[in-house]
Amino acid sequence: MRLITAAVLLAAVIGGVHLTGHASQAPPPPQAQAEPADLVLRNGRIVTLDDRAPEAQALAARGGRIVAVGTTADLARYVGPNTQVIDLNGQFAMPGFIEGHGHFTGIGEGKLNLDLMNTKSWDEIVHMVAEAVEKAKPGQWIVGRGWHQEKWTSTPAPNVEGFPTHESLDKVAPNNPVVLTHASGHASFVNAKAMELSNITKDTANPRGGEVLKDKDGNPTGLLRESASGLVRNGAGEPTPTAADADARARRVLELADKEAISKGITSFQDAGSGFDVINRVKSMIDQGRMNVRLWMMIRSSNASLRQNLPVARTIGYGNNMLTVRAIKVTSDGALGSRGAWLLEPYADLPENVPAGTSRTGLPSAAVASLPETAQIAVDQNMQLCVHAIGDRANREVLNIYEDAFKKNAKNGKELRWRMEHAQHLSAADIPRFGQLGVIASMQGIHCTSDAISVLQRLGEKRAEEGAYVWQKLMKSGALVTNGTDAPVEDVDPIASYYATVTRKLTDGRVFYGDQKMSRIEGLRSYTINNAIAAFEEDLKGSLTVGKLADVTVLTKDITTVPDDQIRTAKVVYTIVGGKVVYKGQ
């Protein structure tokens, strides 16, 4: 049998060569019509990220999967009477973007609340709150998110440590409680009414891992750092919504997030920590056909609840590969901007004498103490572990805990694919450990350029150069580096994050340690196949390969070749999930 097959193949090859040689005289033999595809994309510039055939012009999908990739002429045989044919007119197509670390419900919530992402001053924020108060009922909470003091063009007056005081908000919102979350999610700002309803007073002590910022007289200023945000009783004083109203709102939040993701060219989204309730709601939305983007979700819950609920909640490829739940999320420290990241050495911009109760090196979160137990649960339940670690101390401690868990269970990191979420600032000694241990560095390109100025202030130049956003150093150590935006901390736009990844260019034109930037293809891999690997999904996603899911993003520009300054002007033309166009750009 084998011999016959080989002989037939050989004849076919010889025949092929012969015919090609005479192509100018005779047309090539008509290729047999294939089973028609549901969708054919043709005349495109397709980057597949599949090394066996890195470039193509056309792609055919059937039953949600890729059935052929090749030239436009080759794939003509997949076009049948009911095939949707899209002429790409030379536009750029790539494996669908995979957001590697975002907060799905946070994106949806952001759409329902005041969006402060683009505000340039505290006055502007106060103005927006005043407008919201006019439309609100008395006593209704005004909720906003996305402010960032580094983006302000002037320092508020008066201020404490550069932050405004609550009186400015009280003037426009005397009867409405206001809570405005920092873009990082690691601090919030409240007015007097919100403090009154939350019982935050002069006597309120700093909770563990947090700070109620006070003025020189000991009065709370309104700024709540890290875990102190947990003191806010959002919604207190308002009538409790009915269960049906709350559920309808929660579903609306998921729909808004879904719409936002697909409009940015995202075909899969890795959610960085939701509760079991959210996961159940997502499942029912998938059953109802109300979700377009594929989700891979980390669970955030107590150890006791994880042990109890994981055996039922763990799921792979639910609803035709729309949802996978196989990871646990834990937070080990705060953010650099709010000086909540846990460092080995003190913050460069904190004075020697800080007020009692504040730490010069940042603090671990309360979850660090129970992390070894969480790690064991992850091994026992065959879950990935994903720990938020930003400062070099947090990264070191978490690597130590991972290493202990690997040893104790005779596993290596490459089998378990545990991840370090953010891995923003590393001690030189710990960088090679990512590659050695097989720990995935789940990073966000856009954070590098948004935070560069504050990183330099908080860490000083030496530490910033040595260990901040060291993508190349990590990759050279053999580590997998993934990409994302941490939305709603940043806009979920992968193109902006990709631009930051391949240029490290700040808005003022400066480049933040350019030797660590990724090449265009490295950057594209970090946003596609690397994220797929970091989720055990490389057989399904991350490259345009026959047999994988037909998840494709089409852009107006080839972001692998256009000059740097044109990358950000690329627009999404189509977002295709499972061979279906779920978003079409204007």
Torsion of CA 271, 276, 282, 283, to 10 degrees: 120
Smallest gap from Cβ 103 to Zn ion, in A, equals 6
Smallest gap from Cβ 185 to Zn ion, in A, equals 7
- Part of the chain binding Zn ion (CB under 5 A), chosen from 136-144, 211-219, 275-283, 478-486: 478-486
Written as six digits, the tokens of 558 are 């080839």
Encoded amino acid at 281, one letter: R
Out of 46, 224, 272, 368, point to the residue binding Zn ion (CB under 5 A).
272
Residue whose CB is less far from Zn ion, 67 or 455:
455
What SS3 class is residue 160?
strand
Residue whose CB is less far from Zn ion, 220 or 334:
334
Residue 486 contacts Zn ion per CB under 5 A:
yes
CB atoms within 10 A of CB 258: 23
Residue whose CB is less far from Zn ion, 342 or 574:
342
**CA 87/CA 69 separation, integer angstroms:** 15
Smallest gap from Cβ 273 to Zn ion, in A, equals 7
**Kind and range of the H or E element at 582?**
strand 580-584
Residue 443 contacts Zn ion per CB under 5 A:
no
Report residue 284: phi and psi, to 5°: -70, -30
**CA 496/CA 356 separation, integer angstroms:** 41
Residue whose CB is less far from Zn ion, 430 or 486:
486
Residue whose CB is less far from Zn ion, 91 or 113:
113
- Part of the chain binding Zn ion (CB under 5 A), chosen from 267-275, 369-377, 468-476, 570-578: 267-275
**CA 445/CA 425 separation, integer angstroms:** 13
Residue whose CB is less far from Zn ion, 193 or 419:
419
Residue 390 contacts Zn ion per CB under 5 A:
no
Smallest gap from Cβ 395 to Zn ion, in A, equals 15
- Part of the chain binding Zn ion (CB under 5 A), chosen from 240-248, 268-276, 462-470, 548-556: 268-276
Encoded amino acid at 496, one letter: A
**CA 151/CA 130 separation, integer angstroms:** 21
Q: Kindly list the distances between the CA atom of residue 170 and the CA atoms of 144, 145, 221, 362, in Å, as whole numbers in the listed order.
A: 15, 18, 12, 30
Smallest gap from Cβ 329 to Zn ion, in A, equals 8
- Part of the chain binding Zn ion (CB under 5 A), chosen from 40-48, 229-237, 271-279, 337-345: 271-279
Residue whose CB is less far from Zn ion, 99 or 551:
99
**CA 264/CA 267 separation, integer angstroms:** 9
Q: Distance between terminal CA atoms of the chain?
A: 55
- Part of the chain binding Zn ion (CB under 5 A), chosen from 88-96, 270-278, 317-325, 531-539: 270-278
CB atoms within 10 A of CB 405: 21
Smallest gap from Cβ 101 to Zn ion, in A, equals 6
Residue whose CB is less far from Zn ion, 211 or 421:
421
- Part of the chain binding Zn ion (CB under 5 A), chosen from 9-17, 72-80, 266-274, 306-314: 266-274
Q: Is the peptide bond before 54 cis (omega within 30 degrees of 0)?
A: no
Smallest gap from Cβ 181 to Zn ion, in A, equals 13
Footprint on this chain of Zn ion (rule: CB under 5 A): 272, 486
